[in-house]
Amino acid sequence: MASTPIYKVVFYNQNQVFEVFARAIFQSEMYGFIEVEEFVFGERSQLVVDPSEERLKNEFAGVTRSYIPAHSIIRIDEVESEGAVKVIDLKPGEKSNMVPFPVMNPKPE
C-alpha cells in the first residue's frame, strides 16, 4: 500500500452516480455526513479527454472539502492508486442495480 492512502468514493447525487478519488475521508461533526477532502484527478497530460472526468473536475474545482450525506454513499474503498473518475447518469424508469439506502422518516406528532 502507498504511504498516503487513496480512497475511491461512490455516491448517489440527483439521478447520477459519482465515482471520485480522495486522500482524506472521515465522519463529519455534522450528524449524518461524510467529509471528503483532497480530491485526486488524473493527469492533465493525457491526449484523450474523458468528458465525465472533465465534468467532475469542473464541479469540484476550488472545493477543499465536500460533505456527502451518509445515506447517499454507495461504497468507499481504499485503493493502491487513483483511477479514472466517472459520472453515471441513471435515467428515470431504467432498471438499475443501484438503490439508495433506505431512510426512516420520523412520524410527525
Q: Where are the domains of the chain?
A: 6-89
> Could you tell me which residues come within 8 angstroms of residue 50 by beta carbon, excluding any fewer than 6 positions away?
42, 84
The C-alpha atoms of residue 13 and residue 26 are separated, in whole angstroms, by 19
Query: What does DSSP say about strands 73-79 and 65-69: parallel, antiparallel, or unpaired?
Result: unpaired
pLDDT at 89: 74
pTM as predicted: 0.69
Alpha-carbon distance of 15 to 91, in angstroms, equals: 7
Local confidence pLDDT in tens for the 109 residues of the chain: 447 888 999 988 887 888 888 899 999 888 989 999 888 876 555 555 666 667 777 777 778 888 999 988 988 988 888 777 777 777 766 665 655 555 556 666 6
Model pLDDT, residue 86: 76
